[in-house]
Structure 1
Amino acid sequence: MPDDERSRPSPAQPDGAAHVERRRFPRETKPPDERPVPPPALEPLRFSTHGLEPEQQFAAWQAYVAPLVDVRLPDNLTPDAGFKADHAAWNLGGMLIVQQSTPAHSYIRSEAKVRSNLIDHWHISILRSGRTWTEVDGHVSHGEPGKMELRTLGHPFRGRSTDAQTLSLYLPRELLYSSSSEIRNNITLSGTPTKLLIDYLVGVEAKLAELADGDLSHVLQTVRDMILTCVASSAAYSSPPEQHSSLPLKERVHRFIQHNLMSPDLTTERLCKELGVSRTRLYQAFEPDGGVHHYIQRRRLLSAHAALCDAANRQQIIDIAFAAGFSSAAHFSRAFSKEFGYSPREARNVAVPPYLAHAVAPAPEGERAHSFDKWLKMLGHNHAS
């Protein structure tokens, strides 16, 4: 451009005013957030009878829930009518969340069923639709939408359900221990704290497929605290908690063992002395469990298993064995292999991911019932204190 044109005044400026060239620069834009989104931590274990022939559906459901309960159809129905049921389980490490839809049926967790497996978790049930009636020791708990039921799997129960959709939680008994209150068995809770908990769980349920590893501990801690709040605010707990000496013997022994699991002198003699019970009575109480020594050893093995599965725990296997209360590496290895069917080294290399870290991947189709049973058995044996 010629010099005389560059110095020519702008038409919009007064005569003689020099033109100042203004350069336009693009506005700075904030770069997009390039932080990687953490992958989902959970993958559900799903089971459905919808794809089966109607006459096969109920038998398939019976087999799937057999580790927990025995189920029967109402008297006026036959298996040929079909039984369309759905079950989705999410393993948060220290808690299982289960979504379930079933037609009307009855259920029983018998004394024999309780004896055949040692799980004594809390089962917390929230109905979206339908009604349930569950009896324990002559007391019937009535479940309906808007209420929350709590019962232990360590005690027999029986009941019946209409067509129902249910959201359930399974939590270790130890997770809900509280110094200020004891949760009684087979109770129904309602009221504002319970409604808040239900709303929170519905929100968690909607995000299950998106939760990352770092979210799991927060969810579990929040659920635990809210359950204890519901218990503390319930009119059923206005009386002082039970005195230690008034609790049933097995419950007292369970608590003492849990609090002293890593103590090297956790023996039958110490239990008898600390709890003021005779050796004969202690043996009689734990005869269905294979004896009190077997019960202690199994709890220790489960604790060691969880430590071996924890990718963040780099202790030597022998140190984990000693920490779990075993005095001999050879004894630990033999007992571990007998209990789980694989060696401690195999557990470290392959095993179930650790508590509050990863979900357990669903098993192949033919092993799903066994896998849900395994989730229940392994639940929470490395939980935070």
Structure 2
Amino acid sequence: MENKPTSMAPIEYSTLDFEPKHQFEAISQAVAPICELKKPYSVGNGFRVRYLAYDLCGIDIIDWESEPTISDRSSKLTRKSDLDSWAILFVRSGCRYDEFNDRLVKAGTGDLMLASYAQPWKSHWEGGNLVTVGLDRDTFSWMAPSLDEANRSVLNGPLTGLLRTFISTLVSEAHKISEDQKQTLSRSFSSLLAASLEPTADNLYNATPALNATRLTIAREFIRNNLGQPELSVDFICKSLGMSRRTLYNTFDGHGGVAKYIKTARLQACYKALSDHADLRFVSTIAYQYGFTNMSLFSRQFKELYGFSPKEAHDHAAANRVAPNSSSPTLLEHLCKSTSSSGSSAFDVAV
């Protein structure tokens, strides 16, 4: 029997493991090598902070939930510290203000800020959810000029949305990542970051697998959320996502095409509803909800996919049938498959 790869375990931390009166002191000591924490107000009886941290071959992902804080990485601390890496700060909720070289930089919900720990800074965090993606200097030395130039700036290039999605997906799928997959994801992230900072032809070409997998993640989610829209089509998707037709077709190349994906997703949604015995709606009502206006065509396509009619699914599914696995491959799975072969050309950057 083949052994299933073991997922990497995170490092977990929570100030709730301490008595309320010691919670602020505990997190202050934990981050002391990086910065000094200060209280923006009286913390009262406690200070809630929790994080999950993952090591990904030169990339450290830390998912924070924290109350408001003021942090200060002084010149003195910077000089005596051996920490000189970079980090991408992804504000998932909340707001952060950074003071650097007499500038005030604001990063609000959804923003990505690039930060260097080799230089001093001060920040005011209003509380919420922050993801930090630490970039080891040795691993990313080949990108050092670009990373240093972007220090304490909010990223806003044409690929920022894809980079944001990639980071979000890494956080949500981190518990599934095995030791064997870490190197693949690290390379994919590195190539996508390089293309985001400098979208040259070479960087875009090298980032093709990561770009394709991330665009596919975005497009799949959009399709799943709009299955009931009668106008769901290539043009509708492209207009809604700001994606060119060429990019969309390339994204679904090797996955049966856009139209087939939409049709299959709609049929899967119908199957799920028809198999739910608490759902007493007519077959036709369910079919119309997910975009099917021709019942004969719907019944034929449904039977071709599942081997039985919609009515049979509605009447008998709970008795002796188990719904097929309709989950789509994850970003992680797409990357591990796609990196085994290189893309033939760089995609355009319409997203």
Instruction: Give the TM interval when normalised to the shorter protein.
Output: 0.5 to 0.7
**For residue 71 of structure 2, what is the aligned residue in structure 1?**
107
Q: Shift of residue 191 of structure 1?
A: 4.5
Q: Is the 8 A contact 1:123 1:169 kept in 2?
A: yes
Letter in 1 for 2:61: I
Letter in 2 for 1:115: R
Q: Shift of residue 177 of structure 1?
A: 4.2
Structure 1, unaligned stretches of length 5 or more?
1-33, 235-385
CA distance in 2, matches of 1:170, 1:206: 17
1:199 aligns with 2:165: yes
| 1:68-83 aligned within 5 A | 68-74=34-40, 77-83=41-47
**For residue 225 of structure 1, what is the aligned residue in structure 2?**
191
CA distance in 1, matches of 2:101, 2:143: 26
**For residue 159 of structure 1, what is the aligned residue in structure 2?**
123
Q: Is the 8 A contact 2:15 2:49 kept in 1?
A: yes
CA distance in 2, matches of 1:130, 1:100: 12
CA distance in 1, matches of 2:142, 2:129: 30
- Give CA deviations for 1:47-88 in whole Å, capped at 9, x if unaligned: 1012323221111111111111101111xx224342111022
**Structure 1 residues 109, 59: CA separation in 2 closer, same or farther (over 3 Å shift)?**
same
CA distance in 1, matches of 2:88, 2:189: 11
Task: Please point out which of 44, 55, 58 is paired with 1:94.
Answer: 58
1:123 aligns with 2:101: no
Q: Is the 8 A contact 1:146 1:190 kept in 2?
A: no
* Structure ranking higher on relative contact order (CA contacts 8 Å, 6+ apart): 1
CA distance in 1, matches of 2:172, 2:94: 21
**For residue 219 of structure 2, what is the aligned residue in structure 1?**
none
CA distance in 1, matches of 2:3, 2:198: 41
CA distance in 1, matches of 2:141, 2:179: 25
Q: Shift of residue 176 of structure 1?
A: 3.4
1:38 aligns with 2:2: no
Q: CA RMSD in A?
A: 2.0
Task: Please point out which of 81, 102, 107 is paired with 1:143.
Answer: 107
**Structure 1 residues 181, 52: CA separation in 2 closer, same or farther (over 3 Å shift)?**
closer
**Structure 1 residues 175, 139: CA separation in 2 closer, same or farther (over 3 Å shift)?**
farther
- Give CA deviations for 1:99-122 in whole Å, capped at 9, x if unaligned: 111111110101111122211100
Q: Shift of residue 146 of structure 1?
A: 2.0
**For residue 57 of structure 1, what is the aligned residue in structure 2?**
23
Report how many residues are paired.
Answer: 198
- Give CA deviations for 1:347-371 in whole Å, capped at 9, x if unaligned: xxxxxxxxxxxxxxxxxxxxxxxxx
Larger Cα-atom Rg: 1
Q: Is the 8 A contact 1:108 1:158 kept in 2?
A: yes
Letter in 1 for 2:181: D
Q: Is the 8 A contact 1:38 1:212 kept in 2?
A: yes
CA distance in 1, matches of 2:85, 2:97: 20
Letter in 1 for 2:4: V
CA distance in 2, matches of 1:142, 1:233: 24
Q: Shift of residue 190 of structure 1?
A: 2.4
**Structure 1 residues 64, 180: CA separation in 2 closer, same or farther (over 3 Å shift)?**
closer
CA distance in 2, matches of 1:207, 1:117: 32
1:189 aligns with 2:134: no
**For residue 175 of structure 2, what is the aligned residue in structure 1?**
209
Structure 2, unaligned stretches of length 5 or more?
201-351
Letter in 2 for 1:207: E
